[in-house]
Amino acid sequence: MKKILITGSNGLLGQKLAELLLSRPDVELLATSRGENKLATLFPALPFASMDVSVQEQVEQVVSEFRPTHIIHTAAMTNVDQCETDRDGALQLNYHAVQYLVAACEKYNVHLIHLSTDFIFDGENGPYDEEAEANPISFYGETKRLAEEAVKQATCKWAILRTVLVYGVVHDYGRTNIVLWVRDSLRAGKHIKVVNDQFRTPTLAEDLAMGSWLAAQHDAEGIYNISGKELLTPYDMALQVADYFDLDKSLIEKADATTFSQTAKRPPRTGFDITKAERELGYKPHTFAEGIRIVAEQAEV
């Protein structure tokens, strides 16, 4: 029996993980997130405890009480532009909270599975394998690099799962995702500018949840790339979305770093080589086309 504590269960990955693990007979699950449980109506049977990971006392209290065998840590400040402007908040949530979790995992002998990102790289020569050298170009990326360093020095068992451009349908959550953002914009007849100079391996949230579960199931240790397999630009993705929903592609305008700028710099060429996770964990992600269909079916409900 694995006793798994999820952090950030209200988020995109957190919700998919809760859904995946709730029904497994070999898992005792505790979902945790800051504040209220946004899944209470969706999954009334979901065991939940409020845990603000940025408060060390709450981490200590919840971990000492539940005594998990594994923690899958998904909570983070994931708004890259917000991390640039709220640096203290980003450091506290993306780095110091991980130090609190490491301390609790070392004290109670918990296997820590930590979620990380392609944004620790500068994007000069992606796609990347697990041995590539970190060199972040945004503050978000720097906070996630610092977090990885804290995990790598931990004396408890640990795994770092890196992922890229996660998309999926979340319940009761303000954030959209690239598939639904393109679909809704084109349906509304809106003209959108989509970059074709960023390269990613977009990741269906359900696949990332499966990869996280596989890591726990295998008691995996070390670094694993858990993302989609296809290297695509957001422009490629937008065209595939328009095709799937049979929408007007002429509304999609190619953009690049000179015509589309965001507060934080984005690494241009990332994407991951996932052969290690495929080989060692049996990880097998959907194609982007399958992912669009899955998102469309969920969004139509």
Ligand X SMILES: NC(=O)C1=CN([C@@H]2O[C@H](COP(=O)(O)OP(=O)(O)OC[C@H]3O[C@@H](n4cnc5c(N)ncnc54)[C@H](OP(=O)(O)O)[C@@H]3O)[C@@H](O)[C@H]2O)C=CC1
Give residues in contact with ligand X (CB under 6 A).
7-8, 10-14, 33-35, 52-54, 74-76, 78, 93, 115, 117, 163-166
Q: What sign has the CA pseudo-torsion 183, 186, 190, 194?
A: positive
**Are the C-beta atoms of residues 147 and 95 closer than 8 Å to each other?**
yes
User: Nearer to ligand TDO by C-beta: 70 or 269?
Assistant: 269
**Distance between CA 5 and CA 11 in Å, rounded?**
14
| One of 111, 265, 266, 276 touching ligand TDO (CB under 6 A) | 266
3-state secondary structure of 224: strand
Query: Is residue 194 at the binding interface for ligand TDO, with CB under 6 A as the rule?
Result: yes
Residues 41-80 that bind ligand TDO (CB under 6 A): 78, 80
Non-local (6+) Cβ contacts of 151 within 8 A are 98, 102, 112, 114, 158, 160
Query: Is residue 162 at the binding interface for ligand TDO, with CB under 6 A as the rule?
Result: no
Cross-strand bridge partners of residue 204: 167
User: Nearer to ligand TDO by C-beta: 109 or 261?
Assistant: 261
Residue nearest to ligand X (CB): 11
Which of 208, 192, 180, 176 is closest to 296 using CA atoms? Answer: 180
Cross-strand bridge partners of residue 155: none
User: Nearer to ligand X by C-beta: 99 or 251?
Assistant: 99
Q: How far is the CB of 113 from ligand X (least distance, A)?
A: 11
User: What does the binding site for ligand TDO look like in residue numbers (CB under 6 A)?
Assistant: 78, 80, 117-119, 164-165, 178, 193-195, 198, 234, 255, 260, 262, 266
